[in-house]
Structure 1
Amino acid sequence: MTTEKAPITTGEHKVEFEEHEEIKVDSINNYAVSPLEIQGRFDTLRDLSATQMTALNKRVLRKMDWRMMPTITIMFLMSYLDRINVSNARLAGLQEDLHMSDTVWSAGISAFYVGYLLGQLPGNLWLAKAKPSVVLPTMMLAWSACTICMPAMTSGAGFVVCRFMIGLTEAPFFPGITLLTSSWYTREENPMRMAVWHAGNTISNIISGFLAAGILEHMGGLAGLASWQWFFIIEGGASILVAIVAFYTLPNWPTNTKWLNQEESEMAQYRILLSNGGKDEAVGGTWDGVKDAVRDPFTWLFCGIHFSLVNAQSFKDFFPSIVKTFGFDKMTTYLVQAPPYAIAYITACLVAYTSGRFGESTYHIIIPIVASAIGTAIMISVENVGARYLGVTLLISGTYSGLNLQLSWETNLVPSPRSKKAALIAIANCVSQVSHWYSPYFFPTSQEPFYRLGGGLILFGCLSTVLLCWAIKWRAVKLNKQLDEAEGWSEHSGNERGWRYVY
């Protein structure tokens, strides 16, 4: 058996195994710990040839792409659909039927995010030590049950309580799948994979419009229920079916996933160790991880950028109401919501691909967010319907691309230990959700048709995002210079360069 091993190349930033064959583990950095040293830690990998390593890597990556990615994409789609379904239900008479004022309606929207914030950190820390294949589907069953209870609401108070419970049960899911993805995919792969499942929220907006057109317009009065009640029943029932399937298709961690054999499990661990510069992400206690995250300035910089991006996306819960001001009939209002989100999905995937391919995050976030600011300016200042439609398309595309890349960026900058990464993701997501406590009050019906108050909040989010991206880049460059000095590395030193922060 051939036992030719893999040299590190310092010029092309990739790990080569044989002529014309390679594993692209990371296109950004080389490593102080060699791939051969890491490979030697695993019994089943130790004696594999370069060709065998390449084939095994491809097999593991293919398994993950075909088993985990479709599952978490559909789960996230359903969770986001559950979050936004009230916007279209509002157009179908939910607010009027429950005799809610704009203030009570906004309180219900905010209540979701109160519950969502409370469950974030404990939920993600629990997940880091538990089995994702059990925890995540169980959470989905819980929020689906709450959704199915919504047709029983008879007052604004009931609406507020239901939305709070849905937020609480859904809280660990988003940071949980962010943590899970970053624990299976390398730096180069991470942005694109996160774009695939994170785009589930754009797809859910497309589906929501079509569901609204089909259910809200044609099922009113069936079995004595209002159309918005059927909307929640059907959406909640579909989520339960997805959760049941997820118990069998989701992985756990690379060390304990049942549908990987030992060789595949060790390759999954090898890939992540190599991407992390030899650092074991499973090392570290739960509260040690929290303390490390709190002390790390990157945590608070990413809290700021996530908070800013969520402010820039504050239009989400009111997008159907914004489109309604364009003057279309109700059916057209439902249907024209889809194209901007379809464009946003394609844009997010393209931007994520180039970010991972070239190892750059700062300007891959800044350029789309500037486009969002331009779109917002058009939306709040121009009367022409075509121009405003273009404006909301730019707004959606830029903010969704930015939020997706921010998620992969934070997990690439803090790849280990898992407990610290889990804490960082949850803390940043917690802080960002605070904006939902007040942002609904920036979009009252009295602001129609331009919603200039909400537009101002969006522009504030865009500007803050740009400034914080530069701040994160500045810190990463500074830390990389310190690592260069500590290792005695320079472009002309001939030394091997170790793990570095990406920006």
Structure 2
Amino acid sequence: MLLQQFPLLVNASKEELHTLERSVLKKLDYKFLIIVTLMLLMSYLDRINISNARLAGLQEDLGMTDIPANIILAKTKPRIFLPTIMLAWSAVTISMPAMKSPWSFMLCRFLVGITEGPFFPGVCLVTTSWYTKSESPSRMAIWHAGNIISNRFSGLLAAGILTNMDGIAKLRSWQWFFLFEGIASILIAGLGYWGLPNYPSNSPHYFSPEETEMAQYRMTVSSGGQSEDDEGGAMTGFWQAVKDPFTWIFAAMHFTIILSQSFKDFFPSIVKTLGYSKIVTYLIQAPPYFVTYGLTLLVSWSSGRHVEHCWHIIGAMCVSITGCVIMISTLNTGARYFSLFMLVTGPFIALIIHVPWETSVVPGPRTKRAALIAIANSISSTSHWFSPYFFLRSQEPRYQTGGGVIIAGGGATIIMCLIARWWVLRKNKQLEKIQEETGVVSSWRYCT
């Protein structure tokens, strides 16, 4: 019996266990989750702000023409690691108003990329160390609000800052944009040192001894008795991930989802083709992301409740593909704006359901799960090397080539989902066969 591994819980009644579990979840939901959401909001806001700053003259002013970290995190303390890398990228962001040339811009974005790179996979790793596989989708949807809300806030901030602060203190409006963002990021990073936990086995500042054991017990039950405690050195988990077909299946799926999301950095430019004024263009970026966030919460709750990912992702990608087809097929303003709601919704929902799926198939050791997340995230990031070149100004307003890339990414995501589901069912049949041969009963199965 798994409960016997935890001496402070073994004699507790069902009511006491339930109370302890609710206490653990309350602290995670109202402290960890809120701070991580704010941190991710600033991370994504930094990325999307470039596209709005471009509309405010950044490109013309500067004369421009058209893995290991995650494994380190598995061995260190997230409470220190995550806020520190946030401070690092904030320091670069707050220095960006001093940029004078294309080279200075590229250097700053390179440094921001290096410092931001470990953050998203790191948050995924920590989240899946605290929440069960039925809880992860809805919780990730909440903190992934940082991604969605940043796109809403960026347009609203752009309307307020980029249209009203140009020339104040002899600074361009886009320079004020980065200054405000950098200052806010530094303040939120400070909260991280106080409000983030480490892992269930080493967060005495966060939980009582009984709550600590409950946190460990919950995750042990969720993983079918397997422990996420590290086995061997950091490279042991890395090589375990490399040898696991799941790693490459989900890395390919992550890549295709991000490819279908390649419109994101060009969203303000796409909205601009609707023909509205600059301030209206900034403002009407918000509604598609507002709707997307609501739908993401709903679909991720359904995914967690049914512990099912494949068909939820496929449904979302079908919506995205349909929206993209409309976008490149008509010049009707109403139809094109409606298509943007569909275009945005699909990839965001797919990504937030995909991440808990890829982590649920690797309950332990933690270093292996960290390596899987890092590999998938690194491979998916390579899409940014080439996808911007498909959104050509010469093809405005339809962006046919960029739309074709989005459709291809959505279709490939559907294929990868079906492959992943086939492999999961195959692995579950192997578990059932072992159970029949040995007589050892286990309720744990891979999620579809």
Query: TM-score with structure 2 length normalisation?
Result: 0.98
Task: Report 1:289-438 matches (<5 A).
Answer: 289-438=237-386
Which of the numbers 405, 425, 429 marks the counterpart of 1:477? Answer: 425
Q: What pairs up with 1:26-425 in 2 under 5 angstroms?
A: 37-102=1-66, 121-257=67-203, 258-284=205-231, 285-425=233-373
Supply the AA of the counterpart residue of 1:53: L
Secondary structure (helix, strand or coil) at the match of 1:192 reads helix
The whole-number CA distance in structure 1 between the counterparts of 2:103 and 2:388 is: 17
Matched, 1:450 2:398: yes
Q: Report the residue type matching 2:443 in the other structure.
A: G
Aligned counterpart, 2:444:
499
Deviation at 1:50? 1.1
What is the CA deviation profile of residues 39-58 of structure 1, one whole-angstrom value per residue up to 9, with x for unaligned ones? 11112112111111111111
Structure 2: which amino acid aligns with 1:294? V
In the TM superposition, residue 205 of structure 1 has moved relative to its aligned partner by 0.4
Residue 386 of structure 2: SS of its match in structure 1?
Answer: helix
- SS of residue paired to 1:146: helix
**Deviation, structure 1 residue 153:** 0.6
Give the AA of the match of 1:250.
L
* Range with bigger deviation, 275-284 or 87-96: 275-284
Amino acid at match of 2:436: G
Secondary structure at 1:187 match in 2:
coil
Distance in 2 between residues matched to 1:76 and 1:361, nearest whole Å: 23
Residues 11-37 of structure 1: per-residue CA shift (max 9 Å, x gap): xxxxxxxxxxxxxxxxxxxxxxxxxx2
Cα deviation, residue 425, structure 1: 0.1
CA distance in 2, matches of 1:220, 1:385: 30
Partner of 1:8: none
In 2, Cα distance between the equivalents of 1:295 and 1:418?
16
Separation in structure 1 between the aligned mates of residue 102 and residue 162 of structure 2, nearest angstrom: 20
Q: For residues 439 and 259 of structure 1, what CA distance do their matches in structure 2 show?
A: 42
Structure 1 distance, partners of 2:108, 2:395, is 27
SS at the partner of 2:63? coil
Counterpart of 2:177, as a letter, is F
Over residues 391-429 of structure 1, what are the superposed CA-to-partner deviations in whole Å (9 max), with x where a residue is unaligned?
111011111000000001001111211000000000000
- Gapped regions of structure 2 (runs ≥ 5): none
Q: Which runs of 4+ in 1 moved over 4 A?
A: none
Q: Deviations over 1:287-318 (max 9, x none)?
A: 11000100000100001100000000000100
Asked if the contact 2:299/2:349 (under 8 Å) is kept, the reply is yes
The residue that corresponds to 1:6 in the other structure is none
User: How far off is 1:498 after superposition?
Assistant: 2.9
- The structure with the largest helix share of the pair is 2
- SS in structure 2 of the partner of residue 434 of structure 1: helix
- What is the distance in 2 between the residues matched to 1:345 and 1:259? 29
Unaligned runs of 5+ in 1: 1-36, 103-120
Give the share of equivalent positions with the same residue, in percent. 52
Q: Distance in 2 between matches of 1:214 and 1:193?
A: 31
Which amino acid in 2 is paired with 1:465?
T
Kindly state the Cα deviation for residue 444 of structure 1 after the two structures are TM-superposed: 2.4
Deviation track 1:103-122 (CA, whole Å, cap 9, x = no partner) reads xxxxxxxxxxxxxxxxxx11
Q: 1:199 Cα deviation (Å)? A: 2.2
Q: Secondary structure at the match of 1:183?
A: helix
Cα distance in structure 2, aligned partners of 1:249 and 1:213: 32
- Normalising by structure 1, report the TM-score: 0.87
Paired letter, 2:214: M
3-state SS, counterpart of residue 48 of structure 1: coil
RMSD: 1.2
SS in 2 for 1:425: helix
Q: Which moved more, 1:255-264 or 1:90-99?
A: 255-264
Which is worse superposed, 162-171 or 45-54?
Answer: 45-54
Aligned to 1:112: none
